Chains A and B, each alone.
Chain A
Amino acid sequence: MASVSDAELKAMTQEERVKALGMTTEQLTGKSLYMEFDPDALERFEYPWAPVVDFNKRTEVDCDGKTTTEVNESIRALMAEGYGTIVLQNPRGMHSLGVGILSKLNLIVEGSTGYFAVGLIDGPNVRITGRVGWSCGENMMSGTVMIEKNAGSTFGAAIRGGDLVCRGSVGSRTGIDMKGGTIIVGGDTGALSGFMMQRGRMVVCGNAGKNLGDSMYDGTIYVGGEIRSCGVDAVEAELTQLDKDWLTRKLTQYGMMPEKGVDHFTKIVAGKQLWNYDNLEPNEKKLIL
């Protein structure tokens, strides 16, 4: 493989850069790395295993008396038959409901769920009419998830894309290790929300607990109410017109626009003081840099 300088790499497009660095574009069951890197890629549904579903084809699944595995297997089987809208009835706080859905689907859960509801998803639009337990929507890649009532802790842990919305309040550590996408909380959020956040945006219309945004690498947190305290290396930044426009658009989209608008929101970003805390010792720098 030919050597590539840093300057040459910077001048390249993402696709060229991945190729130049030796990452092949060879298809691996339908997906290559540079496709995944493309931030403009809107369609994430072109996987060979993704079933073609029709949103107008609707059915119900009664979870009563079924195990989580049986319900999840039912969802997959119905999607394979082309059902694009599936309603889960009587979920009764089941854990891991609707996890691992990797294609388009309208999933409506009539009731409340336990831990890890709709985690590890890539594409579906989900509406849960009740409450959810811990780690709802964890590691979601794309799609939308709407929770009508309250959510437990670690809401949207490590999400990488999509919109995760809770109309009520959520527990602590919301958006921990968040890597992209948007989390919107209509009420309050608990302590350590946005801990080690990397990318994406979190909107809290109510109050935020202690140590908000602790050790965040990057990303943005907007808080409409009071912030109990900011964490290490989380600092307040100016709310620009761009921020206000984005907040207005997003909150209007989900019918969560506060009566007093968005001008009162506080914006929290990374102070970036910890970005290079561990870096090389002076003698190493002499040798290497």
Chain B
Amino acid sequence: MADGSPTKKPLDRDVNRIGDSFIFPPRVMDDIHIKAELGRYRMRGFSLFKKIPHWDDLTFLPGTLTRFVIEGYREKCETKTVIGPRAKTPIELDIPVYVTGMSFGALSYEAKTALARGATMAGTATCSGEGGMIPDERRYSSKWFYQCIQSRYGFNPNHLVLADGCEFFIGQGCKVGLGGHLMGQKVTDQVAEMRSLPAGIDQRSPARHPDWLGPDDLALKIQEIREATDWQIPIQLKLGAARVYDDVRMAVKCDPDSIYIDGMEGGTGAGPHLATEDTGVPGMAAIRQARKAIDDLGKRGEISLVYAGGIRNGADVAKAIALGADAIALGHSVMMALNCNKDIPEANYPEEIGAEPGYCYHCHTGRCPVGVATQDPALRERLDPDEAAERVYNFLHTLTIEAQLFARACGKTHLHSLEPEDLAALTMEASAMAGVPLAGTNHTVGIEDYHHL
């Protein structure tokens, strides 16, 4: 002040305000206001928004003096991965990650073929997803799963015999117990024709398979697919993570070659917002339970365990493998490698989709600003399939060398030699779910001696 007395800055908060509601913050109130007008659940793409115990809550315990480390950048660390070793023709991958099923319809032609080409360059597989085969995806994929999904949209026995593996979609992590969704904006003439649907409708896929109801029927259905494919290819069951131990035990009794568990971190192209938030269990819990179920039934090494959901980098890959996964499937992160949520010069996110780059979850609208999750010809031009394939390859390769880095640091010459003993938990929740000790202790939450898990 002019008279030289000290300046007192006013508080930038309202001291008369008693407090803010934790249960009803403004965003929750907005949601209620919108649903009160709308009269139904709200749809969106992407994965869950809320915080759950996840891969960041685990850390590696690399070798120091108690363990012998492998030279990080020079000595060999094998990454070869086999899915369905019992099948006459197992799926052999050069790397432990592959591209999961995402439908043509949810994704553009350019995105699907770029994923196929990138995966093939990296020596790994892709999956058709719902809605049938597009020939170019099959042509570009050196290893290709054909998905047998509840709706059977586009399912064709002539395409089944071209597959390297058949995946039964029974559920997905981000909306366990629900069928797929594809909003009318994406059900173009072409997509509608492939799925035998009227164009422009909001497609809601059934949650149950049409021709089997429970595990006893499923075992017979698996036999049917094996008969139709001459018992050559692996049969994989994809389950959303829920009652994982019991579900996987039942899945094992159906005698597949591989079981795929999708954690609640998994994404979707469209689904009810609340379903993505409030169904399923986190990956670290799901993998551990699935591994135990397979091992308890004596099927380790016979039935593969594939995990998907929330995998972002090589550390996540290595952690999932250490917990018991044999292979990792990627959806969301490879879409980001394609350009999902990237600020590209051609796109004006705020005007086109009402969100800034990095905050877009509007796959369900079919107006993807980067040409990945759309059928619009003008938007699709924004995705150069050649460059996109290269990025997919780079990302898959990077994940692999990152995962190798952790394996070598833990003294492993094979990525699949990673084990739970190589991990520690940073939170009590992660310790309880992943079944690994809390960092700096010998205490695993819920287990007296984790060595006996």
Contacts and interface: CB of A to CB of B under 8 A. Distances in A.
Contacts of B211: 116, 119, 134-135, 138-139, 154, 157-158, 176
A55 interface: no
A99 B220 CA distance: 12
A72 B228 CA distance: 9
A28 interface: yes
A4 B136 contact: no
Contacts of B156: 36, 141, 160
Contact of B210 (A5, A102, A157, A160): A157
Contact of A288 (B135, B155, B185, B200): B185
A74 interface: no
A221 B362 CA distance: 37
Contacts of B162: 28-29
A281 B362 CA distance: 12
A252 interface: no
A2 to B, nearest CB: 8
A288 B379 CA distance: 13
A24 B227 contact: no
B190 A23 contact: yes
A35 to B, nearest CB: 10
B139 A100 contact: no
A188 interface: no
Interface string B163-187: 0000000000000000001011100
Interface residues of A, number: 71
Interface stretch (B33-41, B46-54, B441-449): B33-41
Given A21-B377, A95-B224, A278-B204, A102 B157 contact: yes
B109 interface: yes
B189 A120 contact: no
Given A96-B220, A176-B210, A275-B198, A22 B110 contact: yes
Contacts of B200: 275-276
B202 interface: yes
Contact of B224 (A17, A119, A179): A119
Interface SS of chain A:
loop
Nearest to B209: A157
B356 interface: no
A28 B135 contact: yes
A3 interface: yes
B71 interface: no
A102 B367 CA distance: 39
A59 interface: no
B69 interface: no
A87 interface: no
B292 interface: no
A231 to B, nearest CB: 13
B196 A179 contact: yes
Nearest to B206: A196
A38 B401 CA distance: 46
Contacts of A280: 183, 185, 365
Interface in A77-119: 95-96, 99-100, 102, 114-116, 119
30 contacts: A3-B381, A4-B377, A18-B190, A23-B134, A26-B136, A28-B162, A31-B158, A49-B161, A69-B227, A72-B227, A96-B220, A99-B228, A115-B221, A116-B223, A120-B224, A122-B157, A122-B158, A139-B152, A141-B156, A154-B211, A177-B206, A177-B210, A198-B196, A218-B197, A276-B201, A277-B40, A280-B183, A281-B43, A288-B365, A288-B367
Given A21-B377, A119-B211, A179-B152, 20 more contacts: A21-B188, A22-B110, A33-B134, A49-B161, A96-B223, A100-B229, A102-B161, A139-B155, A139-B157, A141-B156, A154-B210, A154-B211, A177-B152, A177-B206, A177-B210, A195-B210, A217-B201, A276-B202, A278-B202, A279-B202
